[in-house]
Amino acid sequence: MQGIVSASGTRFPMDLITHAGLGALSARTLKARLPLRWSLGAAVLGAVLPDSDFVLLLVDPLSFHAYWHRSSTHSLVMLPLWGALPGWLLYRVSRRRQPFLLLWLYACLGVASHIALDMMTAWDIALLWPVGDWRVSLGWLFIIDPWFTVPLLAGLVAALRWQPAAWLGWLWLALWLGWSASNKQEARERAAEFATTLDLPARVEAWPQPFSPYHWKLLASTDEGHWQAHAHLGEQPSPLASLWPHPWLRGAAGSYRPLGESSWEYHSRFAGPKDDGDLARQLWRSNTLRDFRSFARHPARFRSDDTPECIWFTDLLYVIPEQRPPFIYGACRDEQGNWQRERKD
């Protein structure tokens, strides 16, 4: 799981607690020859290490999101190397009194738990980097899911007192993931039902959303655009929607309507307010936007009238109701008439 997305397009790693908790629960599940503090320490360090690649965000935000993040540090091929780093650190801290091999194994277990958890979200990972750039995302959980994290931490606390309780924690997580996968399947089926009403063949997808496990973003995509709906899988709106402490949170939560009340909105890939769709299509396919094209899963035209010499795009995957899109990239003409890539702050 990865932290929340800000309006500037930067992701803050606010959910390291979930990663650390899952790493610790993984370690506690095993009966180790290591003292508890060393096995937990190795697993927790391994579980949070993959997100250390966030330092690369300072170098180039778009390249970080498009190529670097969730690649080398989230690869099963590289896992033994990343496990060796915290393993070696704790081996030295213990003054070589704890066996490096066991410390390494527990650190690898923590790294593996991080990779598995990130794979459950909508942010895809390059599982076989550098052998291949095949990316996978199951899209079962939103990036922050208290319904997943709180029981996880409760199971961990119980397991620290009684080791067999760790298996109860795993049972809950397995049931929750199974239910989330079932919700995703239902959401995809609802999107497929809508797609049958369109005149063109459409690819359907459903992505988990915040505030409730019943909240999903439904998408039916054609070559020219996307139909999008924010749906609540239950028959009634979420009873928690009006209880959030901030107006923005209440408004966003209330935007997810029961399927019978959901409204589908069309978002064009290229068409804009000034009949410049052909120009936008050419720009999108050019090298100028190659990096954003590699990053965006559901690209759409972002309409903005304040910069007539610019054409902007966003990615619907990361757009939450009532929130300005976090990723807005495009290109603007310079004085010579050449297109230069820009990010809209």
Tell which wins on pLDDT, 308 or 215: 215
What pLDDT score does 13 carry? 42
Domain end position, chosen among 243, 268, 293 = 268
What percent of the chain shows pLDDT beyond 70? Answer: 95
What pLDDT score does 306 carry? 59
pLDDT tens-place string over residues 312-330: 999 999 999 988 899 999 9
Q: Are residues 54 and 139 in the same domain?
A: yes
Token output for 278:
């052909």
What percent of the chain shows pLDDT beyond 90? Answer: 72
pLDDT at 1 over 70: no
| Within-domain flag for 125 | yes
pLDDT at 290 over 90: yes
pTM value is 0.91
Q: Are residues 209 and 189 in the same domain?
A: yes
Domain end position, chosen among 110, 131, 163 = 163
Q: Are residues 187 and 87 in the same domain?
A: no
238-252, 272-286, 316-330: least confident range = 238-252
| Within-domain flag for 9 | no
| Within-domain flag for 239 | yes
What pLDDT score does 239 carry? 79
What pLDDT score does 307 carry? 67
| Within-domain flag for 38 | yes
Q: Are residues 55 and 132 in the same domain?
A: yes
Domain end position, chosen among 236, 268, 300 = 268
Q: Are residues 49 and 187 in the same domain?
A: no
Contact residues for 226 (Cβ-Cβ < 8 A; gap 6+): 219, 220, 266, 267, 269, 298, 300, 316
Q: Are residues 139 and 52 in the same domain?
A: yes
253 and 238 Cβ atoms separated by less than 8 Å: yes
What pLDDT score does 38 carry? 97
pLDDT tens-place string over residues 89-140: 999 999 999 999 999 999 999 999 999 999 999 989 999 999 988 899 999 9
As a whole number, the mean pLDDT across the chain is: 91
What is the domain count for the chain?
3
Range of the domain at 205: 179-268
Q: Region 64-77: what's the mean pLDDT?
A: 92
Q: Are residues 131 and 251 in the same domain?
A: no
Q: Are residues 191 and 294 in the same domain?
A: no
pLDDT tens-place string over residues 2-32: 444 443 344 444 489 999 999 999 999 998 7
312 and 267 Cβ atoms separated by less than 8 Å: no
What pLDDT score does 5 carry? 45
Q: Are residues 123 and 98 in the same domain?
A: yes
Q: Are residues 31 and 112 in the same domain?
A: yes
- DSSP sequence for 160-193: HHSTTHHHHHHHHHHHHHHHHHHHHHHHHHHHHH
In the structure, what pLDDT confidence band is assigned to residue 305 with cuts at 50, 70 and 90? low
The CA-CA-CA angle for residues 121, 126, 128, to 5°, reads: 130
pLDDT tens-place string over residues 255-274: 999 988 889 999 999 998 77
The residue among 222, 151, 212 whose CA lies nearest residue 187 is 212
In terms of Cβ atoms closer than 10 Å to its own Cβ (0-12, 13-18, 19+), residue 236 is exposed
Q: Are residues 158 and 20 in the same domain?
A: yes
